[in-house]
Amino acid sequence: MRKFRLGKTGLMVSRVGIGGIPIQRPTVEEAKRVIWRALDLGINFIDTSIGYGDSELRIGEALKGRREGVIIATKGSWRSREQAENTINGSLQRLGVDYIDLWQFHNVPTMEHYDNLIADGGALEAAHEALEAGKLRHLGITSHNLDVALKATTSDLFETIQFPFNFISDEAVKELIPLARKHDVGFIGMKPFAGGNITDAGLAFRYLLQFDSVLPDPGVEKVHEVEQIVSIVDDPKPLSELDQMRISEIRAELGNRFCRQCLYCMPCPQGVDIWMTMITKKMHRLWPLESFKEIMSEPIKSAGNCVECGACEQKCPYGLPIREMLKENTLYYERVLGEAGQ
């Protein structure tokens, strides 16, 4: 598989990576076979997180005896220096490695949180110490907030930025991707299938492969999914006129009912965890049932505090009918658990 340089990291990464959330769902042995197949087909970039259940453990098991040449990217806490240090050391232990190729601050949601991260005595200092100690090779950041991503990209503090990118969530096209290229910051495109909203892998990747500096990292859980993605990436074809029409149709269908997780609606004065409740269906697709139930329990409970003031809808840059969607997602959660007998 063709490789390209991931910005100032200098890492030569495969044209596509794999993301580590869905790898929790199959058995451990099946998960290992998925990772082995990806490596056999030339994928050398694997992205995971301390927040992805036992994903790091499974990846570590699969890479025993196959560590050489594999670029491991994981993510951890930005909340404090102590938490960052603990998550770095925890990831090293779970992955069973002496160093992590790329460590990223995970989902920094707002500018206030970003400022805390880079402040004196903050989490960034712990990461720098780990870099000096050889525990980490490179440092990046991930976010769903465009303002945070733009700030981080121009800060000269991070070597990579990971941000949602697909033909539905395409906010990065206009400014962020060109800015990352200008500052030689590697761009990792999370959610290439828009959290499961794009079901046509060929269409998804024909769109993404137009951007030669973007590293998509789709989540996979089955061998045939890896094989399908690699076959598309290894034989790229330009978007046809029919493809463009289909993209327009899908955008029109989902455009007003799709949470981009930008968090501009937060915080809610009533304590509603708006954005988490809004992604209930996506979380159901991504996580095993028990994990889904546990993760979404509190957000769904908080949705009951909504007094329908509409402040969130006034702040949403995409014009989403948030109050209506909170109700829809609450009912969806209850229905899923009810059908599972829980």
Give pLDDT tens digits for 111-159. 999 999 999 999 999 999 999 999 999 999 999 899 999 999 999 999 9
The β-bridge partners of 73 are 47, 102
Give the separation between CA 127 and CA 154, rounded to whole angstroms.
19
Mean of the per-residue pLDDT values for the chain? 94
Section 252-265 average pLDDT:
76
Predicted local distance difference test score (pLDDT) of residue 262? 74
CA distance 47 to 131: 18
User: What is the edge-to-edge ordering of all strands in the sheet holding 160-164?
Assistant: 18-19, 45-47, 71-76, 100-105, 136-142, 160-164, 186-190, 214-216
Contact 21, 199 (CB under 8 A): no
CATH superfamily label, 3-245 = NADP-dependent oxidoreductase domain (3.20.20.100)
Q: What is the pLDDT of residues 166-214, one digit of tens each?
A: 999 899 999 999 999 999 999 999 999 987 788 899 999 999 999 999 9
54-103 confidence digits (pLDDT tens): 999 999 999 999 999 999 999 998 889 999 999 999 999 999 999 999 99
- Rounded (10°) angle between helices 223-234 and 201-208: 40
Residue 258 binned pLDDT confidence (cut-offs 50, 70, 90): confident
Judge if pTM exceeds 0.95. Answer: no
- Residue 189, beta-bridge partner list: 163, 216
Reply yes or no on whether the pLDDT at 19 is more than 70.
yes
Burial class (CB in 10 A: 0-12, 13-18, 19+), 120: exposed
Q: What is the dihedral of CA 215, 220, 224, 229, to 10 degrees?
A: -20
Could you tell me the residue ranges of all domains in the chain? 3-245, 274-339
Is residue 109 scored above 90 in pLDDT?
no
> Mean per-residue pLDDT for 238-243?
95
Is pLDDT above 80 for 256?
Answer: no
Q: Are 303 and 330 in contact (CB under 8 A)?
A: yes
Is the CA virtual torsion 32, 55, 328, 258 positive or negative? negative
Tell me the average pLDDT across 246-253. Answer: 88
pLDDT surpassing 90 at residue 315 = no
**What's the pLDDT at 255?**
64
Instruction: Please provide the distance, in angstroms rounded to a whole number, between the alpha carbons at the two ends of the chain.
Output: 45
Q: Which residue has the tokens 């920094």?
A: 108
